[in-house]
Chains A and B, each alone.
Chain A
């Protein structure tokens, strides 16, 4: 079983990914 198949690890990674995308969308240069 890879760590990704562990629901605890996968859930945490999903949260971090969403947080990272959140940061990117806010900080993206203004047009």
Chain B
């Protein structure tokens, strides 16, 4: 079915303007939620819905224009993941106010690198794979319905949306229903905790992810909660509640193991994909030489040209160096060290950035953006950058002031890498939507870069506003403030703790190495399973790592959704087993399921945004009394 036309305008001024306004609202909400509870939401779907409603008022709007608004806004929303690191600079006491230029450049340069790095990956990870991309597919379904393509699907999508909106209003809004439950018990001297989450959006995402991902997540979760937590809790005195003691063990030890598994699984996945990625890069260079062949047939295959990419990359590289220098120049180091750290920092961002961009893009396809452990990727980045800075300036960092500078430098580097990771995670999701609706990839890539610019412009003032209004745990802007209201910024606290641990030589490497060992074992098991003649069995190692790393309350609804899809599709296949065209009929049922699942994701995302906007509005009223520093 043809869903696009080369005549339709994609990137329009009104679209970019609408995107800019939505960016400010959604980014503000995401920054607030991320600092308060450590969660952010995928903004592409709310953006698609709002864009359709607004642009629908114009007679000549089209699906590709809506897709561009969605692309631009989701990039901006995703960029707010930098708040998983930046508050760390306050927590270690290196920053006492928000330097506008540096914060802006962290987001902008990191984001644009994320866009550039995923361009060569598009062919391998979007076009030539069967990865699920749950949010990307959901966004495409919504856009297609607005286009009037599958009118009968409106009913399923709307029903899913309404149900999800009601449940998330009852749980997140008025809190009449809880969003999950945890039960703990002591067996012998070991703690066992069973948790369940009730997010229907994750249920929908699990349905789209499917059975292989669900089983891997389940195995990861069983390793974490069935083996590791009970093992580490053996004989540990219960401090308060059983569940909170177990959660502490999981957060401090088991998550580090999960990070090790994710790291090795990510490297392995990339090695397996490297052939495809390389051919993507070669194809880009080939296009650069044969630009004269442009027609409707290959419009949907055209990425940003190699020359344009190289030009943008060089500009970003130089700006990044200037930003690093500006960060380092007040450290008190000699000029030689200043230049060394500037160059090493910039190179680290580019090299680790490319690695994490590829890993994050793959994770978006495997388990979806909302469930991707971006903070786990941040942990890999903070560990590698800290180790490299430590190797270079080992003798310097015994001085307490320089030691603090080193921790801050590692956090600064990580924040740029995290921006790259988050954007690439979102980027491939958007490019999947684009592929499904027939968008032009290079135009989408331009929209993503515009999105990074607006996102960076929005994040900096919002962060400052929230810091001035509430402060971060352990770093208050003024002495007379209430520490109970401080924003928890849980990931930033974790990253600062790890960086401090590395520079003082007190980090528990055992956990990370053990995680790597688990990863290696799973990789071998996966290899063996894949040899089965039916080709049906896999155990994705990355999903196992994610299962260990994510809270059980996030894993459970994903797993339920995947198993649910498997069971119901099995029943349907039996129903039609003796009929002609059984496969087509089962596919029709599956299509309904996809629409309903997309609705569940839409409803919860939109209510999430509304609740966050209301909360941010309340906090802004408090902050209005505080001057900008």
Contacts and interface: CB of A to CB of B under 8 A. Distances in A.
B178 interface: yes
B196 A23 contact: no
Contacts of A10: 170, 176-178
Interface string A1-29: 00000011011101100110111011110
A16 to B, nearest CB: 9
A22 B167 contact: no
Interface stretch (B16-24, B360-368, B587-595): B587-595
B475 interface: no
Interface string B160-175: 1001100100110001
Contacts of B180: 11
A6 to B, nearest CB: 9
A30 B585 contact: yes
Interface stretch (B49-57, B214-222, B564-572): B564-572
Contact of B181 (A11, A22, A25, A26): A11
Contacts of B176: 7, 10
Contacts of B589: 26-27, 30
A22 B204 CA distance: 9
B203 A26 contact: no
Given A26-B592, A27-B572, A8 B156 contact: no
B358 interface: no
Contacts, number: 72
B572 A19 contact: no
B198 interface: yes
Contacts of A23: 564, 568
A12 B181 CA distance: 9
Contact of B592 (A14, A18, A25): A25
Overall SS of chain B's interface? helix
A7 B177 contact: yes
A11 B78 CA distance: 29
Nearest to B204: A22
A26 B153 CA distance: 12
Nearest to B180: A11
Overall SS of chain A's interface? helix
B568 A26 contact: yes
A12 B176 CA distance: 12
Max chain A CB contacts within 10 Å: which of B163, B178, B179, B572? B178
A18 B572 CA distance: 20
A14 B177 contact: yes
B200 interface: yes
Contacts of B600: 18, 22
Contact of B568 (A11, A12, A21, A27): A27
Contacts of B119: none
B607 to A, nearest CB: 13
Nearest to B560: A19
Contacts of A25: 156, 159, 592-593, 596
A15 B167 contact: yes
A10 B175 CA distance: 10
A21 B178 CA distance: 20
Max chain A CB contacts within 10 Å: which of B572, B585, B593? B593
Nearest to A13: B177
Given A11-B171, A15-B198, A19-B203, A26 B177 contact: no
A18 B159 contact: no
Contacts of B163: 18, 21
A10 B180 CA distance: 10
A5 B107 CA distance: 45
14 contacts: A11-B179, A11-B181, A11-B198, A15-B198, A15-B203, A19-B203, A21-B163, A22-B203, A22-B564, A23-B568, A26-B592, A27-B571, A30-B588, A30-B589
Given A25-B159, A25-B592, A26-B593, 9 more contacts: A7-B175, A15-B198, A15-B203, A15-B557, A18-B167, A19-B203, A26-B589, A26-B596, A30-B585
Interface of A: 7-8, 10-12, 14-15, 18-19, 21-23, 25-28, 30
